[in-house]
Structures are given as C-alpha cells and as structure tokens.
Amino acid sequence: MDQVRVLSPATVANVVCGFDCLGFALEGPADNMLLSKTSAQDITIIHRDNFGLSTDPTRNVAGVALQAFMDAAGVDHGFELEITKQIMPGSGIGSSSASACGAVVAANLLTGEPFSAHELIELAMAGEAVASGARHADNLAPCILGGFTVVRSAEPLDVIRIESPELYAIVVHPQIEVRTADARTILPQEVPLRSAIKNWSNLAALIAGLYRGDMDLISRCLVDEIVEPARQHLIPLFREVRSAAMSAGSLGGGISGSGPSIFMLANSREAAERVEQAMRDIYSGTDIIFKSYVSRIARDGVRQAE
Amino acid sequence: MDQVRVLSPATVANVVCGFDCLGFALEGPADNMLLSKTSAQDITIIHRDNFGLSTDPTRNVAGVALQAFMDAAGVDHGFELEITKQIMPGSGIGSSSASACGAVVAANLLTGEPFSAHELIELAMAGEAVASGARHADNLAPCILGGFTVVRSAEPLDVIRIESPELYAIVVHPQIEVRTADARTILPQEVPLRSAIKNWSNLAALIAGLYRGDMDLISRCLVDEIVEPARQHLIPLFREVRSAAMSAGSLGGGISGSGPSIFMLANSREAAERVEQAMRDIYSGTDIIFKSYVSRIARDGVRQAE
C-alpha cells in the first residue's frame, strides 16, 4: 500500500467538570487526508482548502507530527500529504489535533503499523505543540482512541478510553476569535477547596454515569463552577445558548476546548436536532456568523476512508 | 419477625484523590447489632462493649438514626437495640456511621423494608450529624451500599455505587486521637488550580480503573497532593508506614477518613498480609499502641447475621 486516505475527526476537550482531562470524539466534521509514500526522504504538504495554513512541513502541525513519526520509525522514504480540512482552525473543536492525528495514523497504516495508539498520541503531541505551544493531549487522545477519554497525565502520557452509551453532541461555532493563550490567562490561579471538591465529585460521578449508561446521572454531573464562570463572557450569548439547549432537552454541556464553540449533549439524534435548532435560533437573531453540527459521539477515532 | 441481627461494617472515606467523595466498605471489623420490636413507643439502647458510649437515644448515633426512621415510617411500636461495637470510636474507619447504618437497616428489615437504600442513607445521616456535627454521607454510603461509592452531593443526597474488581484493604489504627474538627481546620481554604486539575484527573482515571479492573491504573491514580500533605503530620510515622506498605506490594493508600487510621490497598489476600506485616513492623519498634485489620472490599454493606 502506497497511499491511504483517512478521516480525522473533530473533538471536544474540557468537557464541563473534566477541565484539562476529559474529551470526546465526534464522527464529523472530519478532515480528509490523503497520504502517499514518495521516494524522496522529505515531506510535501498540499492543502485542498482555503484556510491558508502553512505548507512548510516544519511549521505545519501535520508536517511536524509526520516528521516525528518518520524520526521514530526510521522510514527510508518520504510522504506527500494532501489535506482537505473541514474543521476550521480556531473553532475550539480540535482542528490542529485532527491534523496531527490524521497524519500519524495514516503514516502508521502505510508502514505496517509499527506504533500503538498510545505511541501515536505521543508522536502527534509534537505537532500539537506547534499550534498551542504546550504538550497536551486533551484533543489528541479522543481523536485517536475515539469515544470519551481521560488524560490522567500528559507527561508521562497516560490516557484511558472510557466506555459510554450512545450519545449525541451538538456543536455551535460562533465565528469570533478566542486565543487559547487569552483563555488560559483568564483562569484563576487558585480555587476554593470547596469548589474543587464539588468539581471532582461531579467528575467522578460523570465517569461512573458514562460506564453505567445512566443519562440522568450524566446530566446531573455536567456542572462546572470553576472554569466556565471565568470564561463564559468570552463567548457571545453563551448563557442564552446553553439555556435554550437545556430547555430543548439537552443533557448539559459547556464551552468546547477554550471556545468559542459551545457543545451540548443529547441522548438521541431527534433530541440533538431539537437542541441544535434551539441553539441556532439564539444566534439567528444576531449578526454573529455561526456554524452548527450534530454528530454521534464517535466509537472510533481517526478512521480509514473508503 | 420481631428481632433481627445485623453486622454493620467499617468503612474508609476520603480515598486518596477522592477526598470528600470516594469511600469503600470493609467486610470487617463490623459492629454486631441486635434490634427487637417492643410494645412501648420508645427506644432502649444497650451496649455490650466497653466504649462508654451514651445509652440516651437522643445522644446516641444509633438512637438518633432509629428515631429518624421511626418518625419517617410512622411505626406503632418501639425498639430495643443491643450493640456490640467492634469498630473503635475515633479510629477513622466509620465507627459512628456503622452505628447509624446498622440501626436503620435493621429497623427496615423488621418493618417490611419501607425504605430504599438511598432513603436509608438519608435517615442515617441524622445520626451521623450527632457524631460529626455535619451532614455528610462519605462513610454512610459505602456502609449501606457496599463496595466503592461516590457521594456526588450530600444535599440533596446523590450517591453512586462503583463497580470494582476483587481488592483487599489493610487498615492500621495507631491509637492516638485525631479530632475530625482539627483535621478540617488544617486544610487549605484555597488550592492551586493546577493541583486541583491533577487531583480530578487522577480521580476520573481511578473510577475508570475500578470499572475496568485495571490494577496498574488503580495504583497509578492513588496520589493526593492536596489533603495528605496537610494532614500527614497528624499521624505518627505516616510516611514510613506507607512507604513500607508500598515496598511490600501495596497498590497505594493513604489516610482513612480524617485519621488516625492508615489504609492501603492490595490485589490479593496474600499481598495484603505481606503489606499488613510491613506496616506492623514500623509501629512494633515504637511505644505506639495499634491494631491492624485485613479485609476484602465488601460487595455488600450492612448485612443480616445468621
């Protein structure tokens, strides 16, 4: 096999009470990436989209991840990577992670799968660091493993795939810019112990709710009194959008990653479509440009396309 | 049925990274409680032990819990409760919770089981409040439900039973006094967000480890950088005892409740017995009076005795 096409999905990190820890993968949107072996020992990047990302492999997230793969695998050839991004950079649903993960999973498929999923997350982290300036795996882990994932530790990497019932996510992306660095500096350095306890009690119960498939419990746990109060003003009409989603039957949700996308969960596709409409209705009355998506939580991460 | 005998087990709360949230039940030690219906509409408490606890039902944990049960159930008779406590008060392994839970579970059995397990925890909370001055369910939940439990919220009560693999606990009780109130005031009011994130990441992964039965993962998650550093000096030779336990093959552990007992986990009875010996060896060289216990994590909470 000299060529492989993969779909690398959007992901949601910082799932409510699971800040810096809990994430999940969507089925779509997903970046479409065609990787080919080349005889020259270098990397060529071609973009089939209009996001204006660098094609310099040392400055492109997918390129850096691919180089990390090549260094670790010691391959005797090069790669050409043709990317049709569907996940808008800066949307807060793991656009750079999708680039990094898609590149290393495709390279793994083309070279006899020398690396485990865990090792691929490590390699993709090199690419992610180009985009965010930090080694973190909150979007990489669900992008590669699928489903819900807990990142117990990024250094050393320790990620766990969490069982979950069939769930749907609604993502609404208001097209304003939130810089991840700004979203970081806005966070409190210290938090009341009482708030921290409440948060980890909710998170512990949420993990149990996912394993048990208990939708009521999952819904009760989707509470965040630490990060969301500090960040919600970065996102226009955040409270109104979430409130409309809850009234339409959502289980709960919050800020996706560091925003600006808002995600909500629902227990069926029908409920998810009602929730999406309610969220769209809030932004439709404004001049905010936005996109929305409904997707099942993906069982798998990056997948080979037909 | 006019009489029932129950065994009400010791419990461990504040399980490492699960401070104020995660607890589990032991099979033993357990208080032995014989409850009988009486014609008079009052409560008589008889102690068959030497702990000198009050027999005034308005000042006795079991008595207050029993009264809460009678008020809620509207029974037309009274109770005589004969208690042989095996769990030393003040040991930090849920002595007062065992009294409260044993009383309400026994009363439930004698009156056609009008209440659910969840409701019994609510009723037992009235008794627990006499001992601790606060409504909390950290020991009550595992005492009634067995296994590992998460208290997501005490008010309103929301507790979840967590699946877990076969695990053993070793408890060593150095017989010094630690007042729960003192152990509370010693805690920081605020904690670094970074530490809180680390803690909830460990707790989320620990819950996953329990569901998956992954002993290595459970072991990696048993880390607490928030409460333990503040409290460990209250317990003589805490670090030495834990270090000896780890060297002997324990998965991890920490302070039980607010101390002074130390608990450690192990993945087999043989490992647990080695760990117990290593822990005993530390205190044996001192003038500290201590007791130790090895028990499987109980599948059930309060149980009817033959």
Give the pLDDT of residue A129.
83
B14-47 tens-digit pLDDT: 999 999 999 999 999 999 999 999 999 899 999 9
Asked if the C-beta of B203 comes within 8 angstroms of chain A's C-beta atoms, the answer is yes
Proportion of chain B above pLDDT 90, given as a percent: 92
H helix runs in chain B, sequence order: 61-73, 95-110, 117-132, 140-145, 180-185, 193-212, 215-221, 227-231, 238-247, 269-284
Asked if the C-beta of A252 comes within 8 angstroms of chain B's C-beta atoms, the answer is no
Cα–Cα distance for residue pair A35/A38, rounded to 1 Å: 10
Give the pLDDT of residue B114.
98
Proportion of chain A above pLDDT 70, given as a percent: 100
Residue A226: both structure tokens together: 């630490």
Residue A174: both structure tokens together: 């208001």
- Buried-state track A33-58, b at ≥16 Cβ within 10 A, e below 16: bbbbbeeeeebebebeeeeebebebe
When the pLDDT of each residue in chain B is averaged and rounded to a whole number, the result is 95
Give the pLDDT of residue A256.
97
Cα–Cα distance for residue pair A165/A141, rounded to 1 Å: 19
Residue B229, preceding bond cis, omega within 30 degrees? no
A174-219 tens-digit pLDDT: 999 877 677 788 999 999 999 999 999 999 999 999 999 999 999 9
Q: Are strands A252-255 and A43-47 parallel, antiparallel or unpaired?
A: unpaired
Cβ neighbour number for residue B147 with a 10 Å cutoff: 20
What's the rounded mean pLDDT across residues B124-132? 85
Asked if the C-beta of A193 comes within 8 angstroms of chain B's C-beta atoms, the answer is yes
- Selected for mutation to probe chain B from A186, A198, A207 (highest B CB count within 10 Å) is A207
Asked if the C-beta of A133 comes within 8 angstroms of chain B's C-beta atoms, the answer is no
Contacts with A150 from chain B: Cβ below 8 Å: 201, 204-205, 208
Kindly report the CA angle at A158 between B257 and A14, in degrees rounded to 5? 80
Contacts of B110 (CB under 8 A, 6+ apart): B1, B2, B3, B4, B35, B37, B79
Contacts of A116 (CB under 8 A, 6+ apart): none
CB B303 within 8 A of CB B148: no
The candidate with the shortest Cα–Cα distance to B119, out of B151, B157, B84, is B157
Q: Which residue of B has its CA nearest to A151?
A: B201
The candidate with the shortest Cα–Cα distance to B93, out of B162, B7, B14, is B14
Selecting among B180, B225, B240, B273, the annotated active-site residue is: B180
Provide the shortest C-alpha distance from residue A160 to chain B (in Å). 7
Proportion of chain B above pLDDT 70, given as a percent: 100
Within 148-167 of A, beta carbons closer than 8 Å to B belong to 150-153, 158, 160, 162-163
SS3 of residue A186 by DSSP:
coil
Give the pLDDT of residue B294.
98
Give the pLDDT of residue B98.
97
What sign for the dihedral angle of Cα A191, A196, A202, A206? positive
Contacts with A19 from chain B: Cβ below 8 Å: 197, 200
Provide the shortest C-alpha distance from residue B219 to chain A (in Å). 12
Contacts with B152 from chain A: Cβ below 8 Å: 201-202, 204-205, 220-221
When the pLDDT of each residue in chain A is averaged and rounded to a whole number, the result is 95
Determine whether the interchain pair A201/B163 forms a contact, defined as Cβ–Cβ distance below 8 Å: no
Give the pLDDT of residue B128.
84
Cβ neighbour number for residue A107 with a 10 Å cutoff: 29
- Which pLDDT band holds residue A92 (cuts at 50, 70, 90)? very high
Question: Does residue B180 have an active-site annotation?
Answer: yes
Q: Which residue has the tokens 């909830």?
A: B200
Cα–Cα distance for residue pair A91/A88, rounded to 1 Å: 6
Asked if the C-beta of B200 comes within 8 angstroms of chain A's C-beta atoms, the answer is yes
* Torsion angle of C-alpha atoms B107, B113, B115, B116, degrees rounded to 10: 120
Q: Which residue of A has its CA nearest to B192?
A: A190
Provide the shortest C-alpha distance from residue A198 to chain B (in Å). 8
Asked if the C-beta of B21 comes within 8 angstroms of chain A's C-beta atoms, the answer is yes
Q: With a threshold of 0.95, does the pTM exceed it?
A: yes
- Which pLDDT band holds residue A270 (cuts at 50, 70, 90)? very high
What's the rounded mean pLDDT across residues A150-164? 97
What's the rounded mean pLDDT across residues B120-148? 91
Check whether B123 has a pLDDT greater than 80: yes
What's the rounded mean pLDDT across residues A140-167? 97
Alpha carbon distances (Å) from A283 to A90, A191, A287, B21, B232: 19, 33, 8, 39, 53
Q: Which residue of B has its CA nearest to A187?
A: B193
Give the pLDDT of residue B135.
77
Taking only Cα atoms into account, the Rg of chain B, rounded to an integer number of angstroms, comes to 19
Provide the shortest C-alpha distance from residue B230 to chain A (in Å). 13
Q: Which residue of A has its CA nearest to B202?
A: A152
Contacts with B199 from chain A: Cβ below 8 Å: 196, 200
Residue from the list A201, A217, A221 with its beta carbon closest to the beta carbon of B21 = A201
Determine whether the interchain pair B160/A209 forms a contact, defined as Cβ–Cβ distance below 8 Å: yes
Residue from the list B17, B150, B220 with its beta carbon closest to the beta carbon of A158 = B220
- Which pLDDT band holds residue B223 (cuts at 50, 70, 90)? very high
Residue from the list A150, A193, A220 with its beta carbon closest to the beta carbon of B201 = A150
Give the pLDDT of residue A1.
83
DSSP-assigned letters across all residues of B23-86: EEEEEEEEEEEEEEEESSSSEEEEE-SSS-----TTTSHHHHHHHHHHHHHT-SSEEEEEEE--
